[in-house]
Amino acid sequence: MAFTQEKRATLLKDIRQLVIMAAVILTGRSVLADWYVVPTGSMKPTILEGDRVFVWKSAYQFRIPFSRIRLFETGSPKRGDVVVIRNPDGGSVPFVKRLVGLPGDVIELRNETLYVNGKIQPADFLPEQKSDDGEPILLGTEILGGRSHPVRVLPDRPAFRTFGPITVPDSEVFLMGDNRDESRDARFFGTRPTRDLLGRAVGVMWSWNQQFFKGPRWSRIGRPFITDAHGATPN
């Protein structure tokens, strides 16, 4: 059946609308908000492997769409923020970590205990738990700059438990994973420029079990990040 002139015009109009809609969505994801799949467990128990986290890309700065060019700042990072940062190794997958130190802060870790500017950041640990394979796990609630968040410690693992002190340079930040003994973070790759911050993560949009056929983790979908260790899963 041949298209009439009127049908062709309608089809072209629909295509233009779809293209405009796609452009708006992609532009919004580029500069305003986006989501990221987290492939590793470095932020357990806050973020699990397979979580898709919601990120405000405009939380700290506004960029020209689809570029690294920053137009202006929109906010200041704060201690305790969960941030998405450009891969420090140059890879395409960003890192998701907790912001521990701001410019000028002195960061130190003494046998798993975090100090910021010489002040201990207290952590209250629950009784020891076991992983599925019997490994001991400690879950605790740490207070960082007056904000609480969970941490995970694996006491039987060889780990980088003492670090610093180190002073965070101007225009840079110090990042750590909540899964303290299983995280490649600033203890290994150093401080990172604030311009590399891609946004602030605020919660879990969607979560799929790593054992694919177990399906979605329904209890994690559409929820903000937990702020303490009670109720967190050790695995």
Q: Which of 44, 57, 97, 207 is catalytic?
A: 97
Distance of alpha carbon 67 from the chain centroid:
21
- What is the SS3 assignment for 186? helix
Distance CA 122, CA 43 (A): 19
- For residue 154 the two structure tokens come to 């694996």
CB 143 within 8 A of CB 229: no
Q: Which of 42, 44, 57, 183 is catalytic?
A: 42
Q: Is position 130 annotated as part of the catalytic site? A: no
Q: Which candidate, 61, 106, 109, 107, places its Cα nearest to that of 85?
A: 61
CB 61 within 8 A of CB 74: yes
Residues 6+ apart with CB under 8 A from 133: none
Residue 83: which H helix or E strand, with range? strand 82-85
Distance CA 217, CA 207 (A): 5
In the chain, the N- to C-terminal Cα span, in Å, equals 60
Q: Is position 97 annotated as part of the catalytic site? A: yes
Q: Which candidate, 153, 192, 163, places its Cα nearest to that of 44?
A: 153
Which amino acid, residue 117?
A: N
Cite the active site residues: 42, 97
